[in-house]
Structure 1
Amino acid sequence: MGNREDLMAGAKRCLYEKGYGRTTARDIAAASGVSLAAIGYHFGSKEALLNAALIEATGEWGETLATVVAGATAASGDPEERFIAVWDGVKDTFVEHRGLWAAQFEAIAQIAHAPELEKALGESQRMARLGLAALFQGLPEVPDTEEELARGMFYQALLAGMAALWMAAPDQAPTGRDFLRGLRLVGDSALKPAAS
């Protein structure tokens, strides 16, 4: 690997171990075995490197998620059982990727004071939503339409919500079956006319 790749790997390791806000440029340099000056040369700033590392690490988690979805699809042709298996599998990924989710929530909390982070995360939203829409439907890709973006946004909200619940109290986080029941209840009540 070259210095740029070493810095990226070191930054991802720091995100998992120290979090977004507590990682210093010196931490990244030490974790990557690269000089402190190399951060500025390759990325311009520690923040730009951390933002790139956060987005890349999230993409790597997406590959793990794809494996979970594929496994659930192969295990059962029943849509309900597949839904349950997918969300149980999603929950299982949080154990290995806890540091990533903690760093994401920490970064989001700092977004009001970090315009470069807001820009980096904002630019990745459309592709993330389309990717989730495709992934959860078992498709290689979906068209860039408002319908698919809405579908992806729904999955994104479910993922973030489940991650937040799991981070706060892993033993109380919903199961796939809980999610399916909640979806049915919300769907039934949301589509009924309001009582007068």
Structure 2
Amino acid sequence: MGNREDLLAGARRCLEEKGWARTTVRDIATASGGVSMAAIGYHFGSREALLNAALIEAIDDWGTRTGRTLTAFGGSGSAPAERYEAMWAAIITSFQDDRTLWLATIEALLQAEHSEDLRRYLAGGQAEGRRGLAALLLDTPEDEIDDTAARTLGAAQMALFTGVMTQWLTDPGQAPDASAVVAGVRALTTLVDSGA
């Protein structure tokens, strides 16, 4: 690997181990195998730009892995409720297995207030996520999902995803498991359908 790739790998390790705010230029240089601190400026312009690039790379990798896992739940022949619960079990496993990435993502939301590039990237990721989740839930190819489905079903699922994630990150002992998420969705559906 070259210095640029070493810096990206080191920055990813630092995000996982220390988080965004506590990672220094020196930390990144050390985690990169001794690449000079000046190389950060040369290749990325700033510590923030490097951390943005490392986080984006990590999120893209996670998205690819998760997309492959979740597509296994579409059209599997099982009942939709069973597929939905299995999908949530896989998502919750990710919250546990990729905890440091999810924490770094939350930190990135705060950093996006000061970085237009990061904000655009995260907003684009949310748009893709809404469309992808709607496609998964409707068992329909993503390119066939209309904007209404993405902005309703996809957005509601994304909101549920984010809420469950924050519960798992802050209080995993009390966070809902997959069956509790499904039971909660059923209870909400009953409440909304009753007109109460």
Instruction: Tell me the TM-score normalised to structure 2 length.
Output: 0.83
What residue is the counterpart of 1:190 in the other structure? Answer: 192
Q: CA deviation at 1:140?
A: 5.3
- Would you say the 8 A contact 2:20–2:51 is kept in 1? yes
Counterparts in 2 of 1:98-113, with a 5 A limit? 98-113=99-114
Q: Which runs of 5+ in 1 are unaligned?
A: none
- List per-residue Cα deviations over 1:154-186 (Å, max 9, x = no partner): 232222111111111212211211111111111
The residue type equivalent to 1:108 in the other structure is L
DSSP 3-state at the match of 1:142: helix
Residues 1:126 and 2:164 aligned together: no
What residue is the counterpart of 1:165 in the other structure? Answer: 167
What residue is the counterpart of 2:8 in the other structure? Answer: 8
Within 2, Cα distance between the matches of 1:4 and 1:132?
34
Residues 1:178 and 2:169 aligned together: no
Q: CA deviation at 1:110?
A: 4.3
Change (3 A) 1:110 1:48: closer
What residue is the counterpart of 1:29 in the other structure? Answer: 29
Instruction: Tell me the TM-score normalised to structure 1 length.
Output: 0.83
The residue type equivalent to 2:15 in the other structure is L
What residue is the counterpart of 2:150 in the other structure? Answer: 149
Change (3 A) 1:119 1:160: same
What residue is the counterpart of 2:83 in the other structure? Answer: 82
Q: CA deviation at 1:4?
A: 2.2
Change (3 A) 1:130 1:39: farther
Count of residues in correspondence between the two structures = 194
Q: CA deviation at 1:17?
A: 0.7
Within 2, Cα distance between the matches of 1:22 and 1:46?
12
Change (3 A) 1:132 1:72: closer
Q: Percent identity?
A: 45
Change (3 A) 1:72 1:119: closer
